[in-house]
Amino acid sequence: MQAFICTFNCGKVPPFDDQFFTSLSNEWPQEPCDLYVFGFQELSSILNGTTPYKIKAILNKITTKLTNTLEQKYNSLFQFSHISYFGTIGLIIISPHGDRISKIETSHGHPVGHLYTNLKGGIGTRITFDNTEITFVCMHLNAGERLDSMIRRNEDLYEILSSLQFTDNWCVHKPNTHCFILGDLNYRMTGGFNYASDDQRKPLTATSPSEPEPEPEPEPEPGAHLRDELTYLRRKSIILPHFDEPHILFNPTYKYNIGSNEYVKNRIPSYCDRILYVGYGPHEDNNLAYKIIKYNAIPQCKLSDHVPVYMIVEIPEETPESIVDSNGYLLDFNRSSPHKDHLFNNQYLNIFALRVSTITTGILRSLLFLIQTKTGNTILALIVGALLYHLKKWLS
């Protein structure tokens, strides 16, 4: 089974521009894949992101344009599409083989924004293709270049993985299931704050996308990938100990001046946009390992301060070894015998977080409506006027 998996932080503007669809089409292989998976973050303004039906409408429009582009590219019908969303995070799955997809499990999403607002979080879809079950999780984690920001990202990541619930009553980690994480994970090039020297923190220079792309693609600045927080923490088994990622051969995907190939000054260009997967662990061999056909960025798409990242991968039918036991505890294979570690099946936290999120996101929506819209400004002026009138009357 071959899959095309892509993630894109849209920078609060829906990617309806033809530049997005054309740049994607140029990266699709000559023969159609079995699955096309697209993860989005910051699909709209914050105000629209607090209104679910607006995000659904945006995703429906994107799905239609993606399907049309795929059908034009391959001159064949794409019979299946599915969307899931939470806040401004969206996940779209499209396939030309609707008859081979027998089961779909969707999550309700999980918030990790401030006060559990839906400004950050995760959403997931689990499908069965033929007899192979695959979980796709799209995330948007905490931003920032400080040490406390990195620690918050680690906490966000663990909370989403342990609490995001699907209709089969499993969280992200499920035995006998492939699992892919994609999204704006927001990890920066700080070296984990105890790895890189000061001279290593200098801004990187992007390769101009207007120049002919060499083959194979050039390495980024030497040592750049090792300064990445996610790579460093993962290799130390601090986070995602069972997840793998192909070697990065492209330039940092954030933070660009929109419409150009230049990075914003005084910011650390970073590999924020990533795609990872549960590996086959200590028993991995060439017959089981994922075959990564390509892992790359699309700098030709200049609609956001991020650029899209994609992976073309051959997924084996046989799933990786289970990394959780039947109760949802993570297994540590680095020890001489499997060791129960963190619990990755916390449905009660997800229920609590979603209920709090409904309240805090509703308050946020009301405040943004009053501040950012003409109707809201009018209502706010009337409220203030009424308060001043009653205050004056009370004082007199």
Letter for the amino acid at 247? H
Quick one: pLDDT at residue 160? 93
- Residue 242 and residue 175: Cα distance in Å, rounded? 13
Q: DSSP of 298-358, one letter per residue? A: -TT--SSSB--EEEEEEPPSSPPPPSB-TT-EEEETTSSS-EEEEE---HHHHHHHHHHHH
Rounded to the nearest 10°, the torsion over CA 54, 58, 59, 62 is 170
Contact (CB, 8 A) for 331 and 323: yes
Calculate the alpha carbon distances from 189 to 186, 238, 249, 279, 335 in Å: 10, 17, 15, 24, 30
- Residue 240 and residue 276: Cα distance in Å, rounded? 9
> In the chain, how many H helices and how many E strands?
7, 15
Question: Nearest to residue 345, comparing CAs of 170, 160, 175, 122?
Answer: 170
DSSP 393: H
Maximum pairwise Cα distance, the chain: 86
The Cβ of residue 342 has, within 10 Å, a number of other Cβ atoms equal to 14
As beta bridge partners, residue 135 has: 126, 179
DSSP SS3 for 178? strand
The CATH 3.60.10.10 portion of the chain extends over 2-103+144-150+177-196+219-320
- Residue 322 and residue 331: Cα distance in Å, rounded? 8
Q: Which superfamily does CATH assign the domain made up of 2-103+144-150+177-196+219-320 to?
A: Endonuclease/exonuclease/phosphatase (3.60.10.10)
Q: What does the H/E/C string look like for 10-57?
A: CCCCCCCCHHHHHHHHHHCCCCCCCEEEEEEECCCCHHHHCCHHHHHH
pTM over cut 0.75:
yes
- Residue 172 and residue 6: Cα distance in Å, rounded? 19
Question: Nearest to residue 225, comparing CAs of 269, 279, 276?
Answer: 269
Quick one: pLDDT at residue 352? 86
Quick one: pLDDT at residue 203? 39
**What Rg, from alpha-carbon coordinates, does the chain have?**
22
pLDDT tens digits for the chain (396 residues)? 999 999 999 999 999 999 999 999 999 999 999 999 999 999 999 999 899 999 999 999 999 999 999 999 999 999 899 999 999 999 999 999 999 999 999 998 999 988 889 999 999 999 999 999 999 999 999 999 988 999 999 999 999 998 898 988 888 988 889 999 999 999 999 877 764 444 444 434 444 344 434 344 444 555 555 689 999 898 888 899 889 999 999 999 999 999 998 999 988 899 999 999 998 865 555 556 789 999 999 999 999 999 999 999 999 988 888 878 777 777 765 544 444 556 677 777 888 888 888 899 889 888 888 888 888 788 878 888 888 877 777 877
Quick one: pLDDT at residue 297? 97
